[in-house]
Amino acid sequence: MQKRKLVQMHKFSPSRAALWVLLSSCLGMSSLIYSDAMAGEPPQITKLELRNALAGWIKTGILLEAGDPFEVDARGMWDAEGLILAPRHVLWYRVSEDGTARNFPSDDLFAVSEASGELEIAIRPPSFYWFDKQGTFPPEILEAPEIAVSFALDIRQSGASHRMRQSETDKNLIQTLDGSEDKPPKGFEYLTVLGESEVWSGRVVNNEYFIYAKLADDVGIIKMPVNIELSESTLFSFDWLYHSLPAVAPETSVAGHDYLSIALEFDNGQDLTWMWSKFLARGTSFTCPLPWWSERETHYVLDSGSDGLGKWKSHSRNILDDYAEAVAGDPPKKIVGIWLIANNLFAKQDASASFRNITLSDEGEQVFSY
């Protein structure tokens, strides 16, 4: 995606709040309390109370070495004019000013320090997002009037025994009753601008690997980079099984823009996403209603309503035909990414779906298979 200037502050609204949480997925602090834990009395606990959403990066006083584990239990909420944001929607952390900014994928964070330095925590407010890895806040954010929030954090510096909690080779592999679950699915990574979440997983059922999304007041986009030439005969094929749908209003509106979909990213900066709509007719295409995304994302409805939920359906689409029908401008020349998208931040209605047999083919010859 092309780099852009940090978005200027605008009048705050729930739709803008949810938008930038989608784009990014800060924090003021009225008090910073260090524990009185004596040496040799693990774990050491630091308590933070976060009261201002526009305070930028907060130094916690916790010094970490590379490889040190730590945990953060975050509680509270931000009522953004009716849009309720949990800690995982807006909290980020980094180790040292030069460290990589990473989001909280859940309200209960367990992480291992990637570098040596002081742990810093921030709220990334929903009126902008950053493009550098450190998470630099512009002056107009830091100098703006305070916006009240209410978050409480307990930070624990885990003992040495916790270092064995997860190894480098299996930290994303979670054992389940049915076998194993990959978070995220093999070959995919969460889109950096949004950060990680717990939405997407990969699992084996009956010797078949498929991708599963479970939405519970969250958002997540995963991407697999590819480099595939497009022609007039290139087909995109996949199976999907929607268990339930998250939207409570037409997905063309901001308030109704909760959905799960599969998408292709192209070399011209556009992406086309195929979806099952709860309200829109099959064959409907529309530009994403969210600012910033409206410049680069188009949706195409393949299935509609509740008929067929709970059953596998197969689709095969001529990519350039769908692109010409739905997207204005010259056609792309290459596919550069395969995306899977899930969001239910607006209505917060739980939903889930599964995907399998994702392929790209050209003139009958398969050029990609997952």
Q: In this structure, are 214 and 353 located in the same domain?
A: yes
Last residue of a domain, one of 164, 181, 208: 164
Q: In this structure, are 158 and 214 located in the same domain?
A: no
In a domain, 133, yes or no: yes
Q: What is the pLDDT, as a whole number, of residue 3?
A: 34
Which parts of the chain sit beneath pLDDT 50? 1-17, 19-21, 23-40, 160-178
How many domains is the chain built from? 2
**Whole-angstrom Cα distance, residue 52 to residue 205?**
46
In a domain, 5, yes or no: no
Q: b/e map of 51-77 (b: 16 or more CB within 10 Å)?
A: bbbbbbbbebebebeeebbbbbebebe
**Whole-angstrom Cα distance, residue 1 to residue 73?**
33
In a domain, 248, yes or no: yes
Q: What is the pLDDT, as a whole number, of residue 15?
A: 46
Q: Where are the beta strands (DSSP E) in 86-199?
A: 91-95, 102-103, 108-112, 117-123, 148-157, 173-176, 179-182, 189-190
Q: In this structure, are 152 and 184 located in the same domain?
A: no
The H-or-E segment that residue 16 falls in is: helix 14-24
Q: In this structure, are 91 and 210 located in the same domain?
A: no
Q: Give residue 260's domain range.
A: 173-369
Q: What is the pLDDT, as a whole number, of residue 128?
A: 78
Q: In this structure, are 129 and 158 located in the same domain?
A: yes
Q: In this structure, are 343 and 213 located in the same domain?
A: yes
Residue 277, both tokens? 């709509």
**Whole-angstrom Cα distance, residue 307 to residue 245?**
12
Q: DSSP state, 81?
A: T
CA distances from 224 to 210, 246, 263, 308, 343 (A): 15, 24, 11, 28, 18
Last residue of a domain, one of 130, 164, 198: 164
In a domain, 52, yes or no: yes
In a domain, 97, yes or no: yes
Q: In this structure, are 362 and 256 located in the same domain?
A: yes
- 3-class DSSP state of 322: helix
Last residue of a domain, one of 134, 164, 194: 164
